Amino acid sequence: MTVSITSFIFTIIPQTDLLVPYDMVLNSSSQEEMSKNLVQYIIMRGDLAKSSKWNAGALVAQACHGVSAVLHLYYNDENVQEYLCDVDRMHKVVLEISDLNSLMELETKLKNKGIHHKTWIEQPENEATCLVVKPYPKDDVAEFFKDLKLFNKKVK
């Protein structure tokens, strides 16, 4: 009987809180290159997780819809193409925003700063459920999300 065990070693990139495979750090030519890693932010409405109308599967589907839409809309963008080139190393951060009004305020900020994104509006409910930013270097967009926490809700 042959047993194969594969182990993975991860490290946290300083000043980014990104957990990445250790070999990625070893293969990187510099810390500067690591800081240019692309990240895709997904902002979920926390109030929906508390609603009996939205179960875990429905919320995950909303995030998936938003990601698919933003990758389609900005498919020819250089960052999107680079992000899609290495599907085993995609970085996504799923954050929570309190409610619809806060989501719309964030959307306005992003629009005003020229940050490409998609607010997913579920149909036929016509309900804005999440906002997804196209992949950007973290340093270019992290400031917009610094006050948000990781999405970590138990759905009913």
Percent of the chain with pLDDT over 70: 76
Q: What is the pLDDT of residues 46-59, one digit of tens each?
A: 999 888 889 999 99
- pLDDT tens for each residue of 84-109: 998 999 999 999 999 999 999 999 99
Rounded CA separation 84/68 (Å)? 12
Write the burial class of residue 25 (CB in 10 Å: 0-12 exposed, 13-18 middle, 19+ buried).
middle
Contact between 71 and 87 under an 8 Å Cβ cutoff? The reply is: no
Report pLDDT digits (tens) over 132-145. Answer: 999 999 999 999 99
